[in-house]
A and B are shown apart, each in its own frame.
Chain A
Amino acid sequence: MEAPGVHLSDDGTLPAMIEVSDLTVHYGKGERAVEAVRDVSFSVKPGKTLALVGPSGCGKTTILFALAGLLQASAGTMSVGGSAVTGPRRDVALILQNAGLLPWKTVWQNANLSLLLSGEYPRRNAASVLEKLGLAQARTRYPSELSEGMKRRVGVARALSTSPTVMLMDEPLASLDTLTRESVQDLVLSLWQELRFSIVLVTHDIEEAAFLGQEILVLTERPAHIKARVENPNMGTEAYRWSDRFYAATAALRQALEQ
Chain B
Amino acid sequence: MTTNGRRTGNKSGRMPHFRQSWNDLADRRGVQPTVAYAVSLLLLLALWQIASMVVRAVYGNPFLPAPYAVFTQMIRNAPGLGWDFLLTSWRLVLSILIALAVGVPVGLAIGHERVLDRYVSPMIYIVYPIPQVALILFLFLLFGTGNATKVALVTLVLFFQILVSARGAAKNLPQEHLTSVRATGASRWQIYRHVVLPASLPDILTSVRVGIGLGMALLYIAETQSERGGGLGLFISRKIVFARDTAFAGIVAMAILGLVLYVLVDALERVFCRWKYAGRRRR
Chain A contacts to B: CB under 8 angstroms = 65, 68-70, 87-90, 93-94, 96-98, 100-105, 113-114, 117-118, 141-145
Min CB distance B100 to A, Å, is 19
Docked Cα-Cα span, A96 to B281, in Å, equals 27
In the assembled complex, B172 has its CB within 8 A of some CB on chain A: no
Contact B184 A88 (CB under 8 A): yes
The binding surface of chain A is classed by DSSP as loop
Question: Which residue of the partner chain, among B185, B278, B283, contacts A118 with CB atoms under 8 Å?
Answer: B185
Distance between Cα atoms of A113 and B186 in the complex (Å): 10
Of the candidates A93, A100, A113, which one forms a contact with B176 in the assembled complex, judged by CB atoms under 8 Å apart? Answer: A100
The answer for the CA separation of A152 and B199 in the assembled complex, in Å, is: 21
Indicate if the CB atoms of B278 and A102 lie closer than 8 Å.
no
Measured between beta carbons, the chain B residues less than 8 angstroms from A70 are 179, 182-183
Asked whether A144 lies within 8 Å of B185 as measured between CB atoms, the reply is no
The docked-state distance in angstroms from the alpha carbon of A65 to that of B198 is 25
The answer to whether A145 and B278 touch (CB under 8 A), given A96-B176, A102-B194, is yes
A203 vs B27: C-alpha distance when bound (angstroms): 45
Q: Which of A97, A98, A144 contacts B278 (CB 8 A)?
A: A144
C-alpha spacing A105/B179, complex, angstroms = 16
B270 within 8 A of A: no
Q: In the complex, what residues of B have CB within 8 A of residue A97's CB?
A: 176
Chain A residues with CB under 8 A of B179: 65, 70, 94, 96, 100
Whether B275 pairs with A144 at a CB distance below 8 angstroms is: yes
Task: Check if A89 sits within 8 Å of B177, measured CB to CB.
Answer: no
Q: A70-B183, A102-B194 are in contact. Are A141 and B278 (CB under 8 A)?
A: yes
Q: Is the CB of A117 within 8 A of B181?
A: yes
User: Which residues of chain B have C-beta atoms less than 8 A from A100's C-beta?
Assistant: 176-177, 179-181, 183
Q: Which of A69, A102, A104 counts the most chain B CB atoms within 10 A? A: A104
Task: Encode contact with A along B240-283: 1 for CB under 8 Å, 0 otherwise.
Answer: 00000000000000000000000000000000011100110111
The size of the chain B interface, using a CB distance under 8 A, is 25
Which of the listed residues B184, B279, B282, B283 has the most CB atoms from chain A within 10 Å of its own CB? B184
A88–B185 contact, CB under 8 A?
yes
Which 8 A-B residue pairs are closest in the complex by CB-CB distance?
A100-B180, A144-B279, A142-B278, A88-B185, A94-B183, A104-B198, A104-B275, A114-B184
With A97-B176, A144-B278, A144-B279 already in contact, the answer to whether A102 and B181 are too (CB < 8 A) is: yes
Convert B155-185 into 0s and 1s, putting 1 for each residue whose CB lies closer than 8 angstroms to a CB of A.
0000000000000000000001101111111
B77 within 8 A of A: no
CA distance A142 to B176 in the complex (A): 17
**Quick check: is B190 within 8 A (CB to CB) of the other chain?**
yes
Checking A90, A101, A102, A142 against B185 with a beta-carbon cut-off of 8 angstroms, the contacting residue is: A90
- Shortest distance in angstroms between A101's beta carbon and chain B's nearest beta carbon? 8
B residues less than 8 Å from A68 (CB atoms): 183
Chain B residues with Cβ below 8 Å from A143 are 275
State whether the Cβ of B106 lies closer than 8 Å to any Cβ in chain A.
Answer: no
| A87 contact set on B, CB distance < 8 A | 185
A-B contact pairs, 8 of them (CB 8 A): A65-B179, A87-B185, A102-B177, A105-B194, A117-B181, A118-B185, A143-B275, A144-B279
16 A-B pairs besides A65-B179, A104-B201 with CB distance below 8 A are A69-B185, A96-B176, A96-B183, A98-B176, A100-B179, A101-B180, A102-B177, A104-B273, A104-B275, A105-B194, A117-B181, A117-B186, A118-B184, A142-B274, A142-B279, A145-B279
B195 within 8 A of A: yes
